[in-house]
Amino acid sequence: MMTLSKRFTIKRKQSDSRRYLRLITSEGISGGLLASMLGGPFLTGFMLYLGASSAQIGFALAIPAFANLAQIFTAIVTHNVDNRRAYVFGYGVLYRVLWVLTGLIPFVLPESYWVYSFITLYLLSYLCSNIAGVIWASLISDMIPSQVRGRYMGIRNTIVGGLAAAAVLAGGQLLELFSKQNGFIFLYGIAAICMVWNGYHLFNYPNLPYEKSQESHKLQLLLKPLKDRSFLRATLFLAAWIFFQNISVPLFSYVMQDVLSISIQWVTIITTIQMIVMMASYYVWGNMNAKYGTKRVLLWTLPIIAAACLLWGAIAWIPAIPVLILVHMLLGIGTGGFTQLTFNFTIEEAPASERTIYVAVFAALTGFTGFLGPILGGEIYRKMSTMPTWLEHYGFSAGMGLVLLGLALTAGRSMLRPNRVNASSKAVVQKKHEELAS
């Protein structure tokens, strides 16, 4: 029979868990709204307003992936840090402050410095983001009970995605109603409010105790995930996938706005549709993740992303707008699942005491290839300006879809093989989860 003190302890833990889940959701909403006001089509639109070329836009779109390399350094230096909350709060706030400061560039600097100043601040911002991110992943993995992690992240991402989609649609209307300068002033003003709101949530994160690594030698710590054959095999494949995906997908907004000359209003409508579909898919992917396992379901997302690229070819016969709506609906389903499942993959594959270094190694390898992709894509589009227009309009995107589909159906099937767990072990784990839930 359970003692009164034991019941009180369990009830308190359940109460803390619910409070943590609400806090993580609230923080995600404020951060998601800020990113939706300044990122996506608005990032491309603001850079075009500053006078950026396709190559410069490609470089800027590659920055978030490049900044992932900072996670290796962070994980090695802070793998046994006592105050995870302080790192998450400090670097998380600095990340958003630097991004919001890019809005002042047209008012305080000569026009010849606009693009390079934006790229510099954006790079510094994402370096701070990734320093905070590797510790944030470790902290929230202790805040979210493992038995509900997959479903909870699906619900959280659905809520955040829905509100972010509404924000993108509203932002597009603002830019359509006002001049570009005044429209971006409104967007950056809203983002500044979200920045303060998000800082409040980060300040309220708990500083939970956690299982520290017993490895004191920095090089040996770094080698641990590299010696994990299952983790390394899947990570190398995903790094290759992200390279080929990023040659084309991040530049979709640029192609719509600058190559196809589609209005910012239509671009934001299309992006909003993508985000709504993505939002709806999060919950479905979360349930499938819980039922079938992370690697298997992650593999299922890849042909969907490839199909989104392939569908660009339909512009040859069908008007661009309906085709692009279908493209971005598929993209929302595929990338929504891919993003959610790769996050779960890094947490699940890592031992609790080595979680930060596993997350950092994954981020560094995929970040390096993700950085190269948009730079190469931007250069390709620059060269295509002298080639037949169909290549620039839809041929290149459709061709990359064929490459991605081939990669998914060949290497993907072997490299994302689920880990073998015998049936009895699964039953034991399931029984334990049921006991914890009750």
Q: Tokens 């997350």 belong to which residue?
A: 359
Q: Does residue 199 sit in the same domain as residue 242?
A: no
Per the structure, how many domains does the chain have?
2
Q: pTM (2 decimals)? A: 0.69
Q: Output the domain CATH number for residue 197.
A: 1.20.1250.20
Q: Which residue from 228, 87, 199, 208 is spatially nearest to 145, judged by alpha carbons? A: 208
**7 is a domain residue:** no
Cα–Cα distance between 304 and 344 in angstroms, integer?
A: 19
Cα–Cα distance between 196 and 333 in angstroms, integer?
A: 31
Q: Does residue 225 sit in the same domain as residue 282?
A: yes
Q: What is the pLDDT along the chain (438 residues), one digit of tens a residue?
A: 445 444 434 444 557 778 888 888 888 898 888 988 888 788 888 888 898 887 888 888 888 877 777 777 776 666 666 777 888 899 899 999 999 999 999 998 898 899 999 999 999 998 888 888 878 877 887 787 777 766 787 788 778 878 888 888 888 888 877 777 788 888 899 999 999 999 999 898 888 776 655 555 666 667 777 777 878 888 888 999 999 998 888 888 888 888 888 887 788 888 888 888 887 887 788 788 878 888 888 889 999 999 999 999 998 899 889 999 999 999 999 988 888 888 778 767 666 667 777 777 888 888 888 888 888 888 888 888 777 888 878 888 889 999 999 988 888 787 777 665 433 333 333 444 444 444
Q: Does residue 74 sit in the same domain as residue 223?
A: no
Which range marks the domain in which residue 182 is found? 16-204
**238 is a domain residue:** yes
Q: Does residue 118 sit in the same domain as residue 223?
A: no
